[in-house]
Chain A
């Protein structure tokens, strides 16, 4: 059968995304991913005052605004050598975790699981129940998720003034100290959310959940009680298996984490990987082998991206963003840059960070089922189970009379970078300050990693690769491709330098509109 090219605009991701796939019959044989918007945020920052990234960069993304604030403040801390007091570290971690948990549940129940209620699954046993749970605006779980996630981000408003888009983290700590009353409110909000997460999402207590260390344990847990099967995790597992999501959407088997959540000097919270310096460890996992992470090994390549500049890729500290806006075609097919680690694409996100942390359950799932849509989404859906108790622990350790700000050295001529894990994976800000002004600002977002186009070595980006080999039953309703790309929790507004792909493709084939 002749190859045809299918262009699919994809909604229910943050921002606009278009996927092109080459189809041989019903099988995907090639794929190209294009973000559709360029806002030029990095270049807007050039020439502005050193700290202005704290205000501008949260506006990169409405759902991970505290994430960008965190990367921005870490970069400034590093640039001037600020010492951040323990209690400020706790509050920074708490607020970023609140945003992460918010994003994990909103993504799962407002964006990803909605595909289970797609008519493509009408013949599956889970379909009617999925509709009852996930129909937009009406589904029972959808409504509960909206209510609960809104309560959770109140934590960020209590500490930081508002959500989204505050700038409450400053070099050297926080803009102000929370009061005893604030900390009590945060404590209660976490308890309340945790109760919902246990009842509705897990169907069991966090303590029971944490006993599950392998796929076998997980299946035993499912068999143990009806509540476990009825909870969101149990329902997801059953539906995902019935829909074949355990066989869909693999990848390169390269995983990246920058690490996240600096540990206070005094804390009872242990890092997820023994001896790591941050709660979530940094690392690079290639073919099952964990390697130390070294940010020097990052390059952004532009061979297939519509940018002018250096061939061979630049480290973000030397990076530039010069859109090549001539409309010329050629082998360049996307305006997203291609971040590479040691020259190869890498998947980032909850699956990557939990594999790198050596989480036994996720490691076993990946071994048994591969890095599939099921494994990837499961890693996200159950990440809050690890993080919620840690949030409570950090609040309990916080001293309302403690130190939350220590004046940093001046920001005159210096460089720094801020690396962290955020809801969708590895986020980095690199900045250079000259005479108190921003001379260079480069951002690499998680979606830049996951949704990148091909780079210098012609390897596809992670979700391009994940699409290969997928079978699409109905070309008019390619729900399988939605499952795959949404399992990466795509966030296109974040792809700060991605622009519209070309109108024509070099690849031969018919384009059909869906």
Chain B
């Protein structure tokens, strides 16, 4: 049974699509074939003219043609003043189209942090919001009680961009034998039940509190350089990116891009701390124990880490 998929871009950068195009072995097109997904429309790839597009949207919006999966990439833009006219298609606010198609779809998938939680424009003039969350608050554009035809809420796949394997995996799971349990933000635990910190190749430096205060070195980025890896849910260091690497591996702090509050207002490249200890501790830790542990760990740090001899 083939599943129909409509890919809609709202207020975003197209980065999730670009990530998908960068999948290798199998690549995007192979994946679609293997999972028997019929991509009805993708704005960057499809060849249908404007007339055919209008017809397709009309058929889907009225339910004459069934829509299995609606993927939305980019935020729902509501500005200025709730009109949505900062993001339009054919002179209508794009948000109207999102509402119409979401009503018909069997599954609705928010691809990326913008579509999930509002993302980059969430605090700005664009009045951007997510499909079913605005940052941490349930509601968003479609409302807290929204469910798609399947009975599921919007499935959120945050990340800026979302890791392409998560997108493909989620689509494949819809026809697969195994359900995908979701977390409190309706994101699959499979990929968001772990921290970016897990699998980071700088972990040993972190373990012994060998921390860097500036770029260009091999140590951990958590205490001073703003790394949010120990607080951020995502599989960056398990799946790796482009089959190769991750940001923290090359000394770029995790920006917490899967977090409902991304982008947070405080500086990206600095860790807020009290007496040299981060205010935001790794998930689930209490301050007193963490202080004691880190003090002892630092004292036990081996020479090869202190001299940054161990490569990353």
Contacts of A163 in B (CB 8 A): 18-19, 22, 241-242
A185–B245 CA distance with the chains assembled, in angstroms: 12
Asked if A423 is an interface residue, CB under 8 A from chain B, the answer is no
**Is B15 touching A164 in the complex (CB atoms < 8 A)?**
yes
Asked if A194 is an interface residue, CB under 8 A from chain B, the answer is no
* Stretch of B49-57, B139-147, B290-298 that contacts chain A: B49-57
* Stretch of B62-70, B187-195, B246-254 that contacts chain A: B246-254
**Is B14 touching A12 in the complex (CB atoms < 8 A)?**
no
**Is A12 touching B18 in the complex (CB atoms < 8 A)?**
no
**Is A164 touching B18 in the complex (CB atoms < 8 A)?**
yes
A49–B88 CA distance with the chains assembled, in angstroms: 32
Closest A residue, CB atoms, query B11: A39
Asked if B120 is an interface residue, CB under 8 A from chain A, the answer is yes
**Is A158 touching B47 in the complex (CB atoms < 8 A)?**
no
Closest B residue, CB atoms, query A138: B29
A153 in complex: contacting residue of B11, B22, B247, CB < 8 Å: B22
B44 in complex: contacting residue of A14, A36, A500, CB < 8 Å: A14
Q: State the Cβ distance, B118 to closest chain A Cβ, in Å.
A: 11
**Is B14 touching A15 in the complex (CB atoms < 8 A)?**
yes
Closest B residue, CB atoms, query A171: B215
Q: State the Cβ distance, B234 to closest chain A Cβ, in Å.
A: 12
A40–B86 CA distance with the chains assembled, in angstroms: 10
Contacts of B49 in A (CB 8 A): 118, 476-477, 514
* Stretch of B76-84, B100-108, B171-179, B280-288 that contacts chain A: B76-84
Q: State the Cβ distance, A162 to closest chain B Cβ, in Å.
A: 3
Asked if A63 is an interface residue, CB under 8 A from chain B, the answer is yes
Considering only residues 38-76 of chain A, those with a C-beta below 8 Å from chain B are 38-41, 43-44, 48-49, 51-52, 54-56, 59-63, 65
Asked if A233 is an interface residue, CB under 8 A from chain B, the answer is no
**Is B88 touching A162 in the complex (CB atoms < 8 A)?**
no
Q: State the Cβ distance, B2 to closest chain A Cβ, in Å.
A: 14
**Is B27 touching A59 in the complex (CB atoms < 8 A)?**
no
Considering only residues 253-292 of chain A, those with a C-beta below 8 Å from chain B are none
Closest B residue, CB atoms, query A51: B269
Asked if B91 is an interface residue, CB under 8 A from chain A, the answer is yes
A477 in complex: contacting residue of B51, B128, B241, CB < 8 Å: B51
Asked if B153 is an interface residue, CB under 8 A from chain A, the answer is no
Contacts of A157 in B (CB 8 A): 241-245
Asked if A106 is an interface residue, CB under 8 A from chain B, the answer is yes
Contacts of A10 in B (CB 8 A): 50
Contact flags A168-195 to B (C-beta < 8 A → 1, else 0): 1010111111010000010000000000
Known: A12-B43, A49-B267, A153-B22. A62 touches B124 (CB 8 A): no
Which residue, B19, B32, B216, has most C-beta atoms of chain A within 10 A?
Answer: B216
**Is A118 touching B47 in the complex (CB atoms < 8 A)?**
yes
**Is A11 touching B53 in the complex (CB atoms < 8 A)?**
yes
**Is A161 touching B268 in the complex (CB atoms < 8 A)?**
no
Q: State the Cβ distance, A344 to closest chain B Cβ, in Å.
A: 29
Asked if A342 is an interface residue, CB under 8 A from chain B, the answer is no
Q: How large is the interface on B (under 10, 10 to 19, 20 to 34, 35 or more residues)?
A: 35 or more
Q: State the Cβ distance, B165 to closest chain A Cβ, in Å.
A: 12
Asked if B158 is an interface residue, CB under 8 A from chain A, the answer is no
Asked if A365 is an interface residue, CB under 8 A from chain B, the answer is no
A54–B251 CA distance with the chains assembled, in angstroms: 14
Which residue, A63, A114, A476, A477, has most C-beta atoms of chain B within 10 A?
Answer: A63
A325–B49 CA distance with the chains assembled, in angstroms: 31
Asked if A167 is an interface residue, CB under 8 A from chain B, the answer is yes
Asked if A117 is an interface residue, CB under 8 A from chain B, the answer is yes
A170–B253 CA distance with the chains assembled, in angstroms: 12
**Is B215 touching A405 in the complex (CB atoms < 8 A)?**
yes
Asked if B58 is an interface residue, CB under 8 A from chain A, the answer is no
B14 in complex: contacting residue of A56, A61, A150, A499, CB < 8 Å: A61
Considering only residues 89-132 of chain A, those with a C-beta below 8 Å from chain B are 106, 110-111, 114, 117-118
Contacts of A12 in B (CB 8 A): 43-47
**Is B51 touching A43 in the complex (CB atoms < 8 A)?**
no
**Is A137 touching B39 in the complex (CB atoms < 8 A)?**
yes
Asked if A37 is an interface residue, CB under 8 A from chain B, the answer is yes
Contacts of A381 in B (CB 8 A): none
Contacts of B131 in A (CB 8 A): none
**Is A39 touching B124 in the complex (CB atoms < 8 A)?**
yes
Known: A44-B124, A179-B311. A493 touches B250 (CB 8 A): no
Contacts of B21 in A (CB 8 A): 106, 146, 149-150
Q: State the Cβ distance, A400 to closest chain B Cβ, in Å.
A: 11
**Is A172 touching B215 in the complex (CB atoms < 8 A)?**
yes
**Is A161 touching B245 in the complex (CB atoms < 8 A)?**
yes
Contacts of A166 in B (CB 8 A): 247, 250, 252
**Is A493 touching B14 in the complex (CB atoms < 8 A)?**
yes
Contacts of A106 in B (CB 8 A): 21
Asked if A303 is an interface residue, CB under 8 A from chain B, the answer is no
Q: State the Cβ distance, A307 to closest chain B Cβ, in Å.
A: 12
Known: A41-B120, A164-B19, A493-B14. A407 touches B214 (CB 8 A): yes
Known: A39-B11, A111-B44, A164-B18. A150 touches B250 (CB 8 A): no
B267 in complex: contacting residue of A11, A18, A48, A143, CB < 8 Å: A48
Contacts of B85 in A (CB 8 A): 325, 327, 499-500
A62 in complex: contacting residue of B16, B51, B54, B244, CB < 8 Å: B16
Contacts of A7 in B (CB 8 A): 90-91
Considering only residues 146-162 of chain A, those with a C-beta below 8 Å from chain B are 146-147, 149-151, 153-154, 156-162
Which residue, B47, B161, B243, B255, has most C-beta atoms of chain A within 10 A?
Answer: B47
**Is A168 touching B11 in the complex (CB atoms < 8 A)?**
no
**Is B24 touching A150 in the complex (CB atoms < 8 A)?**
yes
**Is A158 touching B244 in the complex (CB atoms < 8 A)?**
yes
Asked if B260 is an interface residue, CB under 8 A from chain A, the answer is no
**Is A52 touching B11 in the complex (CB atoms < 8 A)?**
no
Closest B residue, CB atoms, query A477: B49
A18–B88 CA distance with the chains assembled, in angstroms: 10
Contacts of A54 in B (CB 8 A): 268-269
Asked if B17 is an interface residue, CB under 8 A from chain A, the answer is yes
Q: State the Cβ distance, A14 to closest chain B Cβ, in Å.
A: 5
Which residue, B51, B123, B251, B257, has most C-beta atoms of chain A within 10 A?
Answer: B251
Contacts of A41 in B (CB 8 A): 120, 124
Contacts of A111 in B (CB 8 A): 44
**Is B126 touching A56 in the complex (CB atoms < 8 A)?**
no
28 A-B pairs (CB sep. < 8 Å) = A8-B50, A11-B43, A11-B44, A15-B9, A36-B88, A36-B89, A37-B86, A39-B86, A43-B124, A49-B266, A49-B267, A54-B269, A59-B160, A61-B15, A62-B14, A65-B18, A154-B244, A164-B161, A165-B257, A167-B252, A168-B251, A170-B215, A176-B215, A176-B216, A323-B125, A405-B215, A476-B51, A514-B50
